[in-house]
């Protein structure tokens, strides 16, 4: 009786299970049928563990807010005993874990039925998902010639295709918000350290990376964040406490806010006219809702931040690859961009990592000063243009620095998202715009550090003003 999973958000599906109108087994069967029917076209779902999912149902699911709802994990991080991972790379193919990560245990406690993983680019350092280990690129359900983004590209594609109502992702430079923008979904990056990293990682990319979720509704993200937030045992630092839960925050409108509208990138360069027009439409919506909107762009040192981000990620990726390779030749195991991180890291002086972390922290303070006393929200595009074509951000190229910060490459395409990974501020992408070709365009909102409640409350208010869950890709039913 549920029809297509793409017609429901996870909260609605959980309500059906609670009222015994559908069973967890029936939802799992529907998700697996959708994988069989749709995944060949988009190549988003991998490492399906049907037996583990059915065993979890048989053993009795936790009494959580999403009891019985199918969920997919990103194939990068979120380590779990029952869910081996390729981590987007032939080098790490079929990695098994001796214990569960804290984030997985918290996700599992919500009662979800996890049954597989979703594709990611090698190392999570791309704005597209085209890893060789998966046998081909992951494609956007809205138009198969385009990318769903990265690095949580498989998660975005799976939700947009109606395979699952929501999916786990992670975000170290926009990796939840980029797929949300490209796939017509909601993506929220919490304040740094809001969610646990351990025990497999002390911190991701000097604290810039954090887990998250790709959802069709704001409420699904809010409830999942409430279930998963909080430091794990031994965490090096914690996020500021919230005055109220995310779910409580979205139940009431925020106070009227001071909104800065930036219709360029944060260095003043023009973006695609269709995208800029979508930003202005979002600004008009906020003004109609009674918020004060004025044009303004941050004056923080974005080029410094982008170079520091590039170096930190290169060093971290090079460490991961060389440790796992154990002296083996990398050709045939690691893609070009991954090999390029090693080459670039080798050119850096030993102190560069700490220097780059210091620059990231300086940048965060610059952003905090710009917001302080002037603005509550910064409104921009999520990406500078509509979804890119498949192949544009292939990992075959070995010039890692050019891949990230070269003309027309990742930071030109995605000049907004990584800013808030560096500053640690909460940020979100809402599917409020559409290109002339019918492709999604994300609208980006960011709030001061620790102000997650105000941001998600505003997202919910905008969702009520312009509901977006009902607009779906054709293959989603």
pLDDT at 331 over 70: yes
- Token pair for residue 75? 């194939």
Residue 464: the pLDDT is 98
Q: Which one from 74, 152, 249, 384 is the annotated catalytic residue? A: 74
Pick the catalytic residue from 120, 131, 151, 152.
Answer: 151
Position 289 pLDDT exceeds 90? yes
DSSP codes of every residue in 341-374: HHHHHHTS-TTHHHHHHHHHHHHHHHHHHHHTTT
Residue 2 predicted with pLDDT over 70: no
* Residue 312 domain flag: no
* 429 assigned to active site: no
175 is annotated as an active-site residue: yes
- 307 falls within a domain: no
Is 318 within the bounds of a domain? no
151 belongs to the catalytic site:
yes
Distance CA 244, CA 216 (A): 23
Predicted local distance difference test score (pLDDT) of residue 10: 97
Q: How many CA atoms, within 13 angstroms, populate the side-chain half-sphere of residue 50? A: 10
Backbone Cα Rg of the chain = 20
- pLDDT at position 470 over 90: no
Average pLDDT over residues 198-206: 93
Arithmetic mean of pLDDT, 226-239: 96
pLDDT over 60 at 187, yes or no: yes
pLDDT of 1 > 60? The answer is: no
Instruction: Determine, yes or no, domain membership for 347.
Output: no
How many Å apart are CA 436 and CA 181, to the nearest integer? 15
CB of 367 closer than 8 Å to CB of 247:
no
Residue 311 forms part of a structural domain? no
Residue 109, pLDDT > 90, answer: yes
Tens digit of pLDDT for each residue in 3-30? 667 789 999 999 999 999 999 999 999 9
pLDDT in tens, 408-460: 999 999 999 999 999 999 999 999 999 999 999 999 999 999 999 999 999 99
CATH code of 434's domain: 3.90.1300.10
Q: Is residue 184 part of a domain?
A: yes
Domain-located, residue 366: yes
Question: E strands of 62-221, at which residues?
Answer: 70-74, 113-118, 166-171, 186-189, 210-215
With respect to residue 84, please indicate whether it lies within any of the assigned structural domains: yes
Q: Which residue out of 85, 101, 175, 380 is catalytically annotated?
A: 175
Give the pLDDT of residue 476: 86
pLDDT score of 477: 73
Give the model confidence (pLDDT) of 361-398 as tens digits.
Answer: 999 999 999 999 999 999 999 999 999 999 999 999 99
Give the total number of structural domains in the chain: 1
| Proportion of the chain above pLDDT 70, given as a percent | 99
Residue span of the structural domain in which 288 resides? 5-302+354-476
Mean confidence (pLDDT) of the chain: 97
* Residue 81: band (very low, low, confident or very high) from pLDDT cuts 50, 70, 90: very high
Exposure b/e, 191-228, CB count within 10 A at least 16 = b: bbbbbbbbeeeebbbbbbbbbbbbbbbbbbbbbbbbbb
């Amino acid at each position: 009786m549920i029809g297509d999973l793409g017609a429901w958000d996870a909260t609605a599906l959980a309500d059906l299970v609670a009222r015994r109108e559908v069973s967890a087994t029936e939802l799992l069967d529907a998700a697996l049928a959708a994988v069989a029917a749709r995944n060949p076209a988009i190549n988003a779902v991998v490492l399906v563990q049907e037996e583990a999912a059915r065993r979890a149902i048989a053993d009795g699911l936790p009494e959580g807010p999403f009891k019985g709802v199918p969920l997919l994990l990103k194939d990068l991080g979120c380590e779990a005993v029952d869910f081996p991972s390729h981590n987007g790379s032939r080098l790490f193919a079929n990695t098994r874990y001796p214990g569960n990560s804290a984030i997985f245990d918290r996700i599992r406690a919500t009662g979800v039925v996890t049954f597989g993983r979703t594709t990611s680019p090698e190392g999570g350092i791309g704005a597209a998902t085209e890893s060789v280990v998966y046998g081909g690129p992951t494609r956007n359900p809205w138009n198969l010639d385009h990318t769903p983004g990265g690095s949580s590209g498989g998660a975005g594609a799976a939700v947009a295709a109606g395979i699952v109502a929501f999916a786990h992702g992670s975000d170290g430079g926009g990796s939840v918000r980029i797929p949300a923008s490209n796939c017509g979904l909601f993506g929220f990056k919490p304040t740094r350290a809001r969610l646990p990293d351990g025990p497999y990682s002390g911190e991701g990319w000097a604290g810039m990376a954090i887990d998250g979720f790709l959802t069709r509704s704001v409420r699904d993200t809010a409830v999942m964040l409430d279930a998963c937030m909080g430091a794990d045992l031994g965490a090096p630092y914690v996020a500021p406490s919230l005055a109220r839960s995310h779910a409580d925050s979205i139940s009431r409108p925020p106070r009227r806010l001071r909104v800065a509208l930036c219709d360029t990138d944060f260095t003043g360069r023009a973006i695609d006219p269709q995208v800029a027009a979508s930003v202005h439409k979002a600004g008009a919506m906020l003004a109609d809702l009674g918020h004060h909107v004025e044009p303004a762009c941050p004056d923080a040192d974005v080029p410094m931040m982008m170079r520091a981000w590039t170096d930190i990620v290169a060093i971290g990726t090079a460490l991961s690859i060389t440790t796992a390779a154990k002296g083996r030749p990398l050709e045939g195991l690691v893609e070009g961009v991954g090999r390029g991180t090693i080459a670039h890291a080798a050119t850096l002086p030993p102190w560069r990592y700490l220097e780059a972390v210091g620059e990231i922290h300086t940048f965060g303070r610059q952003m905090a000063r710009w917001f302080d006393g002037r603005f509550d929200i910064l409104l921009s595009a999520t990406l500078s243009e509509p979804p890119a074509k498949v192949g544009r951000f292939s990992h075959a190229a070995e010039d890692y620095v050019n891949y990230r910060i070269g003309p027309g490459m990742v930071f030109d395409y995605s000049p907004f998202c990584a800013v808030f990974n560096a500053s640690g501020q909460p940020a979100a992408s809402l599917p409020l715009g559409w290109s002339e070709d019918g492709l999604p365009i994300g609208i980006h909102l960011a709030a001061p550090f620790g102000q997650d409640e105000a941001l998600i409350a505003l997202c919910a208010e905008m969702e009520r003003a312009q509901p977006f869950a009902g607009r779906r890709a054709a293959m989603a039913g």
